[in-house]
Structure 1
């Protein structure tokens, strides 16, 4: 799954850069209700996966090797403002609901719905959560249920419902350009089950995370993040992002991402020691963007994530179906994007990419290979009653050595409709 979010860092900052932020967010608070918002988000997702080599030998009886499901998700999110004064207090709350529109037990299993006690896929699911929050100056503390986007702990949103985490999260922006964060999380719900314990959720016991993001200039930023996930692993993440303007409508962007993972405690996932990094270079000229990327994995295992969130993989070659994160794997990507606004069709965009990976150690004496072609189109309605309604078509053609998963076609049709009520 592609996660194109740039995270930044710096633990040591030059004295000339450590000026205080010009304004305090808390001093500009208008009040609990005055700054509140209420949003409704609708998503309809149709998804099918065609396993070209037939069902996996370990698949349940009756599995045809073909997945086809459709579901509707409804999310509501209330975010209050902060009370006025030195210490601001607020509250956030959300609800998550899904409805299975299509997909029998023989065609289920794409990660859209959970199973009931009779192993049938649930027709409806629901979840509610809330968090209390405090703010002093430009530092905020939140406790409760929330969505998190950190390179070492990130809730995923690639299906009907997103994951959500339970814990405490502190984010501070007291120095201009520098963001410091720290958190402790003790539970996480998965995308297919709304429970937060270790059975229904991702299996998380606890995770402590720390991060520093720093923007040296408008075009250069860096980040360093660390996590300690109890009885699984410890991770360190590094990012450097550099944007180089060339002309009025031309620029180059370089993005470096890397993880170092070390097993810890009971090592529930088994062997996880791994180093993985990626470097992407993108050339933008007008409506066109051309990207080349390289990614390399080394160590005693491939890169492992999931208990720390399904979105915890900020790497260039993490794409629609594969992450290209196998043991000792090297992978390359070529990508092309076009924004049709420059050609008189605002809201319409296209993307295609090709990724190839090899040298994957699968323990059989013969290295495996994999490759993927992705084709994507998206249109967002620009105005009128249906403003911001979007339609997105994603098609992936994945091929690999049989020892590494075989051949799969992955097709998704996604309709998103956000509504700002307040």
Structure 2
């Protein structure tokens, strides 16, 4: 069955089950303009990666403007709408030798550009609770997830079908043929051939959800993903949560992704899974997690499937996704609302990975200490203004990666235009 036939079959499958559907969103449509909204996100971002082995440090500061418009749907059995976005990034400080490419591209002389911009749009159709969207968009699925962790977001070009015909069940099918990364205004500089995605998630109850997804990046790899999330509430103030994630990857022969992750390019496979247990009591949360890699190579992502396609527990600065790696995490979260400061939160994490196979060493190690403060203004004229400061201290064996300290600082303010 070819890719187009698969997508057509998936679309037909997504529309099944209308008789069991929840109330139709399309029947409640107020109109193209009436349900429209437009926002402008002002993002000031600073990035400092301080290498400890003598390599050039990466230091960049920029101001981002992220404008988005989402129309409503026209009334009728089938509704029509349009989504659009405009991105502008302005360099405030950087220079040749210390630029960070995920913020700003460089010119022919190796200097970071002073600014970069991009615009995109997608058309969308809705019938009942099923939406078909084609064009430039920001997919956020476990096997295709755009990256928005720097100054400007990554985007993809293609078709995505999202169906919510049955209460608690969301199904997705899509095909994308273009990838516009962060820091680069070009539409598809990495020349993505195609990525097909199919899967869904189901909320079995308020405390149990499951998901299953599949993706195929042409000439790169094929992936399967599964998740089980189970919450055990003990009281209004206490709960225990278990979150299990797993990816299974079959790399195409000669795949650069497999070679980058320690494979030999011939029938390479990888399995990565993580299990996290989180105990919440009042303002406090304590997390323990274990993550493990097995197979012929490490787990690769952002080779056509997005810079956030790593839904596992031990992903911070490092992802602890190297060949044969086993990692443990201990972390702590604090919500200061209980202590009279609503909107302020803190997270600490320590992760250690071992048993890494790299450069002839079968027991290399890496470790990271992560700290993050975040504050969101809760009321007043500056409501929703947010501040986030995160720091990672990373150390590893020489063959694994360079030692470094990293600081990221973000100030964001969303403005509602429509």
Moved over 4 A (4+): none
Distance in 2 between residues matched to 1:346 and 1:39, nearest whole Å: 24
| Partner residue in 1 for 2:8 | none
1:334-353 alignment runs, 5 A limit:
334-353=330-349
Matched, 1:324 2:325: no
Measured against aligned partners, the alpha-carbon deviations of 1:324-351 in whole angstroms (never above 9, x if no partner) come to 0000000000110001011111111111
In structure 2, what is the Cα distance between the partners aligned to 1:243 and 1:284?
Answer: 11
**1:106 CA drift (Å):** 2.3
Distance 1:34 1:366 in 2: 61
For the pair 1:304 / 2:295, whether they are aligned, the reply is no
SS at match of 1:341: helix
Q: Which residue of 2 aligns with 1:245?
A: 233
CA contact (8 A) 2:101 2:183 kept: no
Secondary structure of 2:108's aligned partner: coil
1:373, CA displacement in angstroms?
A: 0.3
Matching residue within 204, 207, 217 for 1:216: 204
1:261 aligns with 2:258: no
Q: Which has the higher contact order (CA 8 A, sep 6+)?
A: 1
CA deviations over 1:320-378 (Å, ceiling 9, x no partner): x1000000000000110001011111111111110000000003234210000011111
Q: Structure 1 residue 420: deviation in Å?
A: 1.4
CA distance in 2: counterparts of 1:385 and 1:313, whole angstroms = 37
Shift in alpha-carbon separation, 1:266–1:404, aligned structure 2, 3 A: closer
Question: Is this contact kept in 2: 1:231–1:268, CA < 8 A?
Answer: no
1:41 aligns to 2:67 (yes or no) = no
CA deviation digits over 1:373-418, x for unaligned, max 9? 0111111111121111111110110000011113100011111111
Tell me if structure 2 keeps the 8 A contact 1:89–1:132. yes
CA contact (8 A) 1:18 1:176 kept: no
CA distance in 2, matches of 1:406, 1:236: 31
Q: Deviations over 1:114-171 (max 9, x none)?
A: 1112221111000000000000000000000000101001100011001000000001
Which of 364, 370, 376 is the equivalent residue of 1:368?
364
In the alignment, is the contact (CA less than 8 A) between 2:42 and 2:65 conserved in 1? yes
Cross-structure match for 1:59:
none
Are residue 24 (structure 1) and residue 21 (structure 2) matched?
no
The answer to whether the 8 A contact 1:48-1:110 is kept is no
Would you say the 8 A contact 1:179–1:214 is kept in 2?
Answer: yes
- How many residue pairs get aligned? The number is 393
1:121 maps to which residue?
A: 112
Aligned to 1:66: 57
Superposition TM-score, scaled by structure 1 size = 0.91
RMSD value over aligned CA atoms? 1.4
**Is the contact between residue 18 and residue 165 of structure 2 (CA under 8 Å) also seen in structure 1?**
no
1:93-108 paired onto structure 2 within 5 Å? 93-108=84-99
The one of 112, 122, 137 aligned to 2:128: 137
One of 142, 148, 159 as aligned partner of 1:151: 142
- Per-residue deviation at 1:238? 0.5
Q: Distance in 1 between matches of 2:185 and 2:214?
A: 27
Partner of 1:50: 50
Q: Give distance in 1, aligned partners of 2:181 and 2:369.
A: 27
Segments of structure 1 that go 5 or more residues without pairing to the other structure are 1-16, 56-64
* 2: CA distance, partners of 1:409 / 1:168: 40
Please say if residues 47 and 110 of structure 1, whose CA atoms lie closer than 8 Å, have aligned partners that are also in contact. Answer: no
Alpha-carbon deviation of 1:249?
A: 0.7
By how many angstroms is 1:247 displaced? 0.9
Cα distance, 1:175 vs. partner? 1.0
- Where does the alignment leave 5 or more consecutive residues of structure 2 unmatched? 1-16
